[in-house]
Homo-oligomer: A and B are copies of this chain.
Amino acid sequence: MRNLGRFMASDTVMTVDDLRRFMVEVFPQVHRDFTVVSVGPMTASVRLEVGERHLRPGGTVSGPAMFGVADVSMYVAVLAMIGPEALAVTTNMSIDFMRKPEAGRPVTAECRILKLGRALAVGDVLLYSEGVDSPVARAGVTYSIPPGRGARDARAGARSGLGDRADPV
């Protein structure tokens, strides 16, 4: 399987600490649910600290909670590349639930950005339940990026010789 690293030419512009502070400021209702674990060029890892409010009968983690951590992981990955742009919003998420998560265990979302365009960012996310190797869910996520903030992909292409043509979005 091809190594995606060859197109991840740009560095992050926010650290894990920057992102944690940003989450506390901008999302006071939910920042405690989510721990930013790590970020790298075009990648991020976020953990959902599973609590009672995230559970369904039998202790399984709810769909909305899984959606939430997948969504936050993409948001964090994008902001790590473009800076603290609070107006980036989800336009589409497609999520497949593949296995039942372990009762009451944290869920970690590992995101990779596949395209960081001028107006849209597209990525995918694998969700893991602590203690189980196989991903419990997978998501495709698309974010819209406000004008002026999304040009990283073209610049990355120029530096590394990827030859990315200007995308219409």
Residues of A within 8 A of B (CB): 1-2, 4, 6-7, 26-30, 43, 52-53, 55-57, 62-65, 67-68, 71, 86-87, 89-100, 110, 112, 114-115, 117, 119-120, 122, 124, 126, 128, 132-135, 138, 140, 142, 144, 146, 157, 162-165, 167-169
Determine chain A's interface SS by DSSP, over half rule.
Answer: mixed
Q: How many copies does the complex hold?
A: 4
In whole Å, how far is A93's beta carbon from the nearest beta carbon of chain B? 6
Q: Is there an interface contact between B63 and A126, defined as CB atoms closer than 8 Å?
A: no
* Chain B residues positioned under 8 Å from A120 (CB to CB): 91, 144, 169
The 4 closest A-B pairs by CB, nearest first: A64-B64, A94-B94, A98-B115, A64-B68
* Chain B residues positioned under 8 Å from A138 (CB to CB): 114, 122, 124, 140
* Chain B residues positioned under 8 Å from A87 (CB to CB): 168
CA distance A112 to B114 in the complex (A): 16
CA distance A64 to B64 in the complex (A): 5
Q: Which of B56, B94, B119 contacts A29 (CB 8 A)?
A: B56
